[in-house]
Structures are given as C-alpha cells and as structure tokens.
Structure 1
Amino acid sequence: MLSFSIRLLFVTILVLPFVFGCTNPISFAVPKNSHSANTQPQLQSGQAQGVSGTVVRVTGNQMPSVGENRQRSQPQPVKTDVWIFSGRIPAKGTRIPVTEAKQNFQLVTQVKTDKNGKFFVKLPPGEYTIFAQYGSDLYLNSFLGDGSFKTVQVTEGKMTETRLVNRETASF
C-alpha cells in the first residue's frame, strides 16, 4: 500500500493542471468607443486581428486536499476596464496606479469587459501589455523572465487569446 506522502504527491500532480487553467472561455466585449455589436469578428484573409480575453477573480482556499469533500470556489468573471499598452512594461509588483501608467507608458486603448468578464479589441500587429483595472490600480500577475509584465503578440490576421486572473485573495 502506498504511503500517505506518495498518494498526496500523485493527487497533487494529477489535480494541479486542472486547478491552474484548463478552462479558458473566450468571448467578446465592445471597445468603449465602438458602436458595433458584441459579436466575434469573422477572420478572413486580410481582415482584422487583435486580442480577445476574459478577466476573472479566484478567491478562497484553492489548495488540493485528500479525503475532504470540499469544493473550491470557481473563477468569477469581472466586469471592469481593460487597459492595453504598447510594448513591454517593467514590473514592480502586481499593481500600477492608473495615474502612473498614463504618465509613463504608451496607452493604445481601453475596453470594457461584459458581464461575463469577456472582451475583444482590434489591434495592429505588435507586442502589447494588458491590465485589468481594480479601483485606481491596474493589475497583472503574469511576468516574463526579463522582469517585465507578460505581453501578448498580435500577428497579422489572427486573434490572440488571453486570460487575466486576479489571485490576490486566493490561497494556493
């Protein structure tokens, strides 16, 4: 019979991939300055490209457990503003005040998420840093190895998918 430690290791290895992002529901919201319908654009050769994504919040105890019949809370969609900046932005934590971001980085556009936390924005090809707004701060907890926030690459004729997850009040 396997020891408790070995069983816990097996459960951890099998469960963690499901806890950290096997679901990625993607849909679309309308940019603030757009009058178009909230629908997914049909990409054909030479048509628009951009970023689609979802903003969610994970809270509470997310630790795997053995022998307990405890349900983890599911990610909850967040209705907020999404800020898109051109290029890479150096990270000094997970939050940047909106006023600081406006002064120091090249803002491309802002969009609002819908009630399901989903957004869509057309963008020219390039590298972008995308934040979700919480109060008077912009938040992103994904990073690149060079000390900057995680970026997304938009390529000609393609939609880039992303998911912004706020884990500030979750325990792992």
Structure 2
Amino acid sequence: MNKYSNLIYGCILLLFLFSSCKTNKISTQGIKGQIYWVEGNQMPQATGDTSTSFSPAAKKPVKRTIQIHQLTHINEASLGDYLFGNIETPLVASVETNNEGEFSVKLPPGKYSIFTVEEKGYFASIFDLDSYIHPVIVKENEWSNVEIIIDYKASF
C-alpha cells in the first residue's frame, strides 16, 4: 500500500505542477510604443531671400507615466484647456516609460484609451470618428504600436 500511495502522491504532484504551467495569453499581446515632447513655435519662418525656412523644435523622447483605461468616450472625461481631468472609465494598467520614452505593457485583447500623466492632468490628443479618446485595439497574439507626441505647449 505504501508503494502505491507514494506513486499516487507523485502523480498528483506532477498533475498539479503541469496544470499550473499553462501558457498566459496576456504575455503575447499588449501595447508598446514611445512618447515624445514637442514645445515652442512650430510654424515655418520667412527669411529675407523669399525662401521659407522651417526649423521646428525636434521631438524629444520623454519619461512619463502612461495610464491605460477601458475605452473612454469624450463624455466620460472632463476636458480643460489642454488636459483632461477626471477619467470615469476604469484604469486597466499604469506603466512608466524609460528615459527614451519607450514602454510596453501586456494586456488582454480589447479596446483601450491611452493617457500620459502630466503635472496638471492627463494628456491625449487623438480621437476617433466616434469621439473615443486615443483608442487602441489589442488583438490576440499581437502588439499594438503607438507613438504619442505630447504637444500641448507647442504652437502650430
């Protein structure tokens, strides 16, 4: 009996170990991208020789906190002059960029809205035709790439 009970316990242990090693689908998809900062005069400047000189400030990688919410409609967030205030949809994930503004976050398939955390609110400048704020779709086994340009202190 002792020989068989050890065999049964061993089989149960192996079953437990293998069942806890199933693949995690979240690890194969999500959102990744880079954040840039642009400020100042971005307008072309006329020179004296009838040509137009254009030397806008370059976009610079910037470190930020990214907040990812469930897909958010413009009516589900308060909008100030340039930044959003309260966002009514649930926060799904928050991630810090590195010094080069790069980030990646694993997410299950779904529709999300992306915001950067600024000193006085949340920034997003992309909207779809249905007025959803910076919508991003995550599909199974795919990474959605985004580029965010924070430009609320720029003049165009």
Q: Settle same-fold status: TM greater than 0.5.
A: yes
Is 1:79 matched up with 2:63?
yes
Q: What is the aligned partner in structure 2 of residue 55 from structure 1?
A: 35
Provide the C-alpha distance between the structure 2 equivalents of 1:120 and 1:89, rounded to a whole number of angstroms: 23
Rg bigger for which structure?
2
Question: What stretches of structure 2 of length at least 5 have no aligned partner?
Answer: 1-24
Provide the C-alpha distance between the structure 1 equivalents of 2:132 and 2:142, rounded to a whole number of angstroms: 24
Aligned-residue Cα RMSD (Å) equals 1.9
TM-score (norm 2): 0.70
Is 1:108 matched up with 2:92?
yes
Is 1:144 matched up with 2:128?
yes
For each residue in 1:46-89, what CA deviation from the matched residue of structure 2 results, as whole angstroms up to 9, or x when unmatched? 66101001111111222234624452211112211000011233
TM-score (norm 1): 0.64
- Write the letter of the residue equivalent to 1:60: G
Does structure 2 conserve the Cα–Cα contact (< 8 Å) formed by 1:88 and 1:127? no
For each residue in 1:27-52, what CA deviation from the matched residue of structure 2 results, as whole angstroms up to 9, or x when unmatched? xxxxxxxxxxxxxxxxxxx6610100
Pick from 84, 90, 113 the counterpart of residue 96 of structure 1. Answer: 84
Provide the C-alpha distance between the structure 1 equivalents of 2:141 and 2:60, rounded to a whole number of angstroms: 31
Tell me which protein shows more strand as a share of its residues. Answer: 2
Question: What stretches of structure 1 of length at least 5 have no aligned partner?
Answer: 1-45
The number of residues matched between the two structures is 123
* Partner secondary structure for residue 115 of structure 2: strand
